[in-house]
A and B are shown apart, each in its own frame.
Chain A
Amino acid sequence: MAEVKQLVKGLADQHGRTMESLLPILQGIVHQEQHISEDAMVEVARELNISAAQVYGTATFYSFLHTKPLGKYVIRVCKTITCMMHGKNQVIKELESVLKINLGETTHDGKFTLLETNCLGQCHKGPAMLINDEPYTELTPEKVREIIMKYKHQEISAN
């Protein structure tokens, strides 16, 4: 709780305490914590002197502002038409089998969350996905496996 308080205060110092600061602050929280907890929402409301309902309203409108905990790496696979035409279903199947989770779930170790999203603007190079901020394109099941392995190794060597 104290940590959230610190985080929100820091973000408010940086972005200001007006209504226009709300979205940048919420984005800042997601950047740090991957999601916006209820505690965080209440804290933001207090910092900006607005109602918690208002914070909740904004937070739940945007698909990138999560109100449920997510993994450290959020994988968003484009499910829109050209990626669909180029085989995003196989990509998702492979991700599900490598990560041993279903779409929408997070791995037990809290590292990976697998989501679908709409067009990422990489349609000519589909299927495409984002892992946090990093775009990956022209995916095949083999390529996806390699990419995930790279992240897993990175995690192991970090520990």
Chain B
Amino acid sequence: MAKYKNHILVCGGTGCRASQGEEIVQNLGKVLEENSLENEVQVVRTGCFGFCEKGPVVKMVPDNTFYVQVTPEDAPEIVAEHLVKGRKVERLLFTDPETQERVSESKDMGFYKKQIRIALRNCGFINPENIDEYIARDGYAALGKVLTEMTPEEAIKVIIDSGLRGRGGGGFPTGLKWEITRKVEAEQKYVVCNADEGDPGAFMDRSILEGDPHAVLEAMAINGYCTGATKGLIYIRAEYPLAISRLKIAIDQAREYGLLGTGLFGTDYDFDVELRYGAGAFVCGEETSLIHSMEGLRGEPTVKPPFPSESGYKGMPTNVNNVETYANIPVILLEGAEWFSSIGTEKSKGTKVFALAGKVNNVGLIEVPMGTTLREVIFDIGGGIKDGKKFKAVQTGGPSGGCLTEKHLDIPIDYDNLIACGSMMGSGGMIVMDEDDCMVSVAKFYLDFTVEESCGKCAPCRIGNKRLYEMLEKLTEGKGTEEDLTLLRNLSNVIKDTSLCGLGQTSPNPVLSTMENFADEYAAHVHDGKCPAGQCKSLMQYVISDEKCIGCTLCSRVCPVDAITGDKKEPHLISQETCIKCGACYEKCKFGAISIQ
């Protein structure tokens, strides 16, 4: 980035682009030209900054001023004030919700303070469509170092010593996987990047690929060298058009620079990468399904062993790693195993990227050291619960994970602790829920997802999950019995024990964890016929208070089914039999006389 005096980094992540990010870039360009600054100031489209809540985000370099919620119309002011007069545009700075003070640099914002960015090191700093910017930040240096100075065994040892574990959910030690793949003798081996991210609430891998595609390509080439593979495949879901287009650009540029192709760094090592697209099947994220899908088959899993490292794509040894796992590799090789393993907890090293979504103030993408607590993530970084509501639960690990609650807030997050609490690290989605969310409905929701995404190959998952779903539906309709609760628990355990792949083996977790942590709420549905969160339609009642109702008749006029009776100026009454719970009366009543019970 040397040539220009100043840079304006505009977020080009999907989130900010959808809120006029492109127009901001164009307007800035225009205004710079009008002020004859186009040769001094460069506008750079970067990947996601993570702070999507307050997007579009614009960062000024070198002084690191961080502008939030920028609109295309702000372009003239940014140029005239910030660049020409050297004054910050106060109104575009982030306001600290606690102190109400304006904060101008991201490092002083609560959202960024506790974060350490390793996998996301380049997201929001470089233009992902320009390989020179990646190289300027030590890009491809690790590949060069490994190819010219290290044997595969030495490089693998660094990865083993670093303690890096797979970020795709399972947490398998990455170096060990590489070693296993290396040791199998075969004519051809493959390395595969799993970019089929489909967990509800997860968007980490998308953001990495959109913001720093070269990091993944570099790591795959290193992986290839270490395992003895010359072919790389990236399996990416079709739902990620921007990530796909940035990957294509990155692959072309890397080939042009000789960083992919034949004879890399003057050695006799060849490596190239190909893209394969998913077609809308969640189960294809499971590595054996993914391989079958790439082979042109139905994406159904098969029993392991054999593991893909032994026999994978076309029956050849295939090393499958997740996008985020790969994004960590180049830095580890440059900075060393010791540095990496100094971050994190005893058994989980380094950092983890989480996608924060749901009822939290700062939604977005964050990266924290392993061992950070949920409280720090949700309250310090996430800024607490939206609209001053009460925290109720956080769902981690997607459909394989569970709902954690108040009592888990101070547990350090790592692979093993989360499993011990009945959830999972999963790929890193975190959905925060507040007092208005019904946990039985949440469990039902995840089951709906599983039922739809189950490949149907094995009976426990295909039929069992459907039965679980039906039982949960019964509960939300207020028709559940104590016996159903027992059955729910038993069947969950059977499905876990007998399903063929990870999908079925973990799909009852949302049920079990909510039953464990929110037993009262299940009991309320069964015994009192009530939904404490007031979400289950069949269980709620709209009731008019005799005291508050002045008999204005407004409600009876909006009711679509004539469920409300009562004379003018007399308290009205809702017939619960007729009421369809549309809520129209509740919204119309000006006197707060109608409540939900």
List chain A positions with a Cβ less than 8 A from chain B.
18-24, 26-27, 57-58, 61-65, 80-82, 84-85, 117-126, 130, 133-138
B373 within 8 A of A: no
Interface check B446, CB cutoff 8 A: yes
In chain A, what residue has the closest Cβ to B282?
Answer: A118
Given A81-B200, A81-B442, A119-B201, A63:B281 Cβ within 8 A: yes
Contact A81 B446 (CB under 8 A): yes
A72 to B346, CA, bound (A): 54
A138 to B359, CA, bound (A): 14
B295 with A19: CB separation less than 8 A: yes
* Majority SS at the chain A contact face: mixed
Q: Return chain A residues, CB-CB under 8 Å to B240.
A: 121
Whether the pair B363, A124 counts as a contact (CB closer than 8 A) is: yes
Q: What is the interface residue range for chain B against chain A?
A: 35 or more
Cβ of A73 to closest chain B Cβ, rounded Å: 15
Q: Is the CB of A138 within 8 A of B53?
A: no
Q: Are A124 and B357 in contact (CB under 8 A)?
A: yes
Query: If the complex has contacts A58-B297, A85-B437, are A24 and B277 also in contact, measured as CB distance less than 8 A?
Result: yes
Cβ–Cβ contact B446 & A65, under 8 A: no
Expressed in whole angstroms, the minimum distance between the Cβ of B293 and any Cβ of chain A is 7
Cβ–Cβ < 8 Å partners of B53 in chain A? 124
- 9 shortest interchain CB distances as A-B pairs: A22-B296, A62-B279, A64-B280, A124-B363, A63-B280, A123-B357, A61-B298, A121-B203, A19-B296
14 additional A-B residue pairs with CB within 8 Å, beyond A27-B277, A124-B15, A124-B357:
A23-B276, A23-B293, A27-B238, A58-B298, A65-B279, A118-B200, A121-B237, A121-B240, A122-B14, A122-B203, A123-B357, A125-B15, A135-B242, A137-B19
Cross-chain contact B279 with A118 (CB below 8 angstroms): no
B452 touches A20 (CB 8 A): no
Closest to B199 in A: A119
B18 adjacent to chain A (CB < 8 Å): yes
* B431 and A138 contacting across the interface, CB-CB below 8 Å: no
Cβ contact of B358, chosen from A19, A63, A85, cutoff 8 A: A85
Do A61 and B299 contact each other (CB < 8 Å), given the known contacts A81-B201, A124-B53? yes
Smallest beta-carbon distance B382→chain A, Å: 11
Contacts A62-B279, A63-B280, A81-B442: A124 and B356 contacting too (C-beta < 8 A)?
yes
* Closest partner residue, chain B, to A50 (CB atom): B296
Q: Find the B residue at minimum CB distance from A132.
A: B241
Chosen A-B contacts, 21 in total, with CB atoms closer than 8 Å, are A20-B294, A20-B295, A23-B277, A23-B293, A24-B276, A61-B299, A64-B278, A64-B280, A80-B200, A117-B239, A119-B201, A121-B198, A121-B237, A123-B203, A124-B203, A125-B14, A130-B239, A133-B241, A135-B241, A137-B14, A138-B19
B41, chain A: closest CB distance, angstroms: 29
Nearest CB of chain B from residue A94's CB, rounded to whole Å: 17
| Contact call A125/B18, Cβ cutoff below 8 A | yes
Q: Which of B199, B200, B203, B277 has the most CB of A within 10 A?
A: B200
CB distance from B457 to the nearest CB of A (A): 11
Q: In the complex where A20-B295, A82-B431 touch, is A121 in contact with B279 (Cβ < 8 A)? A: no
Complex-state Cα separation, A120 to B359, whole angstroms: 18
Shortest Cβ distance from residue A77 to the other chain B in the assembled complex, whole angstroms:
12
Contacts of A22 on B, CB cut-off 8 Å? 296
Query: How many whole Å from A137's CB to the nearest CB in chain B?
Result: 4
Distance to closest chain A CB from B540 (angstroms): 16
Which A residues lie within 8 Å of B429 (CB)? Answer: 123
What's the minimum C-beta distance from B388 to chain A, rounded to whole angstroms? 17
Measured CB to CB, the closest approach of chain A to B77, in angstroms, equals 24
Interface hits, B201-231 → A, CB 8 Å: 201-203, 206
Q: Report Cα–Cα, A84/B431, bound state, in Å.
A: 12
A118–B18 CB distance below 8 A:
no
With A23-B276, A27-B277 known to touch, is A80 a contact of B18 (CB < 8 Å)? no
Tell me if B295 and A135 are in contact (CB < 8 A).
no
Contact B279 A27 (CB under 8 A): yes
Q: Could you say which residues of chain A place their CB within 8 Å of the CB of B431? A: 81-82, 123
Least CB distance, A11 to chain B, in whole angstroms: 13
Distance in Å from the Cβ of A95 to the closest Cβ of chain B? 17
CA distance A122 to B297 in the complex (A): 28
Q: Is the CB of B200 within 8 A of A123?
A: yes
Q: How far is the CA of A22 from the CA of B294 in the complex (A)?
A: 9
Q: Which chain A residue shows the least CB distance to B207?
A: A121
**CB proximity to A under 8 Å, residues B351-365:** 355-359, 363-365
Contact A63-B279, Cβ < 8 Å, known A118-B453, A125-B15, A137-B15: yes
Interface presence of B449 (CB below 8 A): yes
Q: What is the CA–CA distance of A82 and B356 in the complex, to the nearest angstrom?
A: 11
A137 to B242, CA, bound (A): 14
List B contacts of A130 (CB < 8 A).
239
Q: Does B118 contact A (CB under 8 A)?
A: no
Q: Specify which of B278, B297, B446 lies most central, judged by the most chain A CB atoms within 10 Å of its CB.
A: B297
Give complex CA distance A23, B276 in Å.
9
Contacts of B164 in A (CB 8 A): none
The yes or no answer to B197 lying at the interface (CB within 8 A) is yes
The verdict on B193 contacting chain A, using a C-beta distance below 8 Å, is: no
Asked if B52 is at the interface (CB within 8 A of a chain A CB), the reply is: yes
A residues within 8 A CB of B395? 81
Instruction: Give min CB distance, B313 to chain A, whole Å.
Output: 9
Which residues of chain B are near A124, meaning CB under 8 Å?
A: 15, 52-53, 203, 355-357, 363-365
Would you call A125 and B294 a contact (CB within 8 A)?
no
Distance of A124 Cα from B297 Cα, bound (Å)? 33
* Those of B117-142 within 8 Å (CB) of chain A: none
Q: How many angstroms from the CA of A127 to the CA of B52 in the assembled complex?
A: 14
Q: How far does the alpha carbon of A135 sit from the alpha carbon of B198 in the complex, in Å? A: 16
Is there contact, CB below 8 Å, between A135 and B357? no
Q: How far is the CA of A18 from the CA of B445 in the complex (A)?
A: 40
| Chain A residue with Cβ nearest B55 | A125
Bound Cα distance A80, B201 (Å): 8
Q: How far is the CB of B235 from chain A (nearest CB, A)?
A: 10
Instruction: Evaluate contact between A61 and B281: CB separation under 8 angstroms.
Output: yes
Q: Tell me the smallest distance from the CB of B248 to a CB of chain A, in Å.
A: 13
Max chain A CB contacts within 10 Å: which of B52, B296, B363? B296
> A64 vs B18: C-alpha distance in the bound complex, in angstroms?
23
Assess whether A119 is in contact with B198, with CB atoms less than 8 Å apart.
yes
- Which residues B163-215 have CB closer than 8 A to chain A? 197-203, 206
Contact at A23–B296, with CB atoms within 8 Å? yes
Interface centre among A58, A64, A80, A84 (most CB of B within 10 A): A80
Contact of A62 with B452 at beta-carbon distance under 8 Å, contacts A119-B201, A134-B241 already known: no
Query: How many angstroms from the CA of A67 to the CA of B24 in the assembled complex?
Result: 41
A121 touches B358 (CB 8 A): no
Q: Which residues of chain B from 10 to 51 have a CB within 8 Å of any chain A CB?
A: 14-15, 18-19
Once the chains bind, are B296 and A20 in contact (CB under 8 Å)?
yes
Question: Min CB distance, A123 to chain B, in Å?
Answer: 4
